[in-house]
Amino acid sequence: MRHRNKINRLGRPVGHRKALLMNLSKSLVMHKRIVTTLAKGKVLRSFIEPILTRAKQDTTHARRMVFSHFQDKVPVKELFNHIAEKIEQRPGGYTRIIKLANRAGDNAAMCMIELVDYNDIYTKETKVVKTPRRRKKKKTTSVVDEVVAETVSGQA
């Protein structure tokens, strides 16, 4: 029975799963958007959200705790220097999962997971408001109207 076992183990042993989530989270921090399977994306979201929350406090302890998840200095610097500035006002929900078409090889459900504040399409600042415009009606003149206009002008 698997009562109260909510974690998706992704069919991998513990060490492999931790390494997978570490690599996916580093890629997400560095590239701001990655494409993966839907199951991995959902597990990654629950893995990366607490890390992003911890990055909002720029302390030595927070940096060391985040480094323990990444084991790499480059994504830690990126996270604390650039990403933390954008997410500091957000109370949670730092990632977005967008479902994509199934993968051609094995028909696996695919998704794109991205950092919410780095998407230009959904942000409010880049919205362009278009004013409603009407088409101008072209004036169509028939041959009869032209002949009548010439005769009237010729008589004057």
Burial readout 75-93 (b: 16 or more C-beta within 10 A, e: otherwise): bbebbbeebbeebeeeeee
Q: How confident is the model at residue 119 (pLDDT cuts 50, 70, 90)?
A: confident
Q: How confident is the model at residue 70 (pLDDT cuts 50, 70, 90)?
A: very high
pLDDT, the chain, mean: 88
pLDDT (0 to 100) of residue 43 = 96
pLDDT tens digits, residue range 77-95? 999 999 999 999 999 999 9
Domains and CATH numbers, the chain: 14-118 (3.90.1030.10)
Is the separation of the CB atoms in 25 and 44 below 8 Å?
Answer: yes
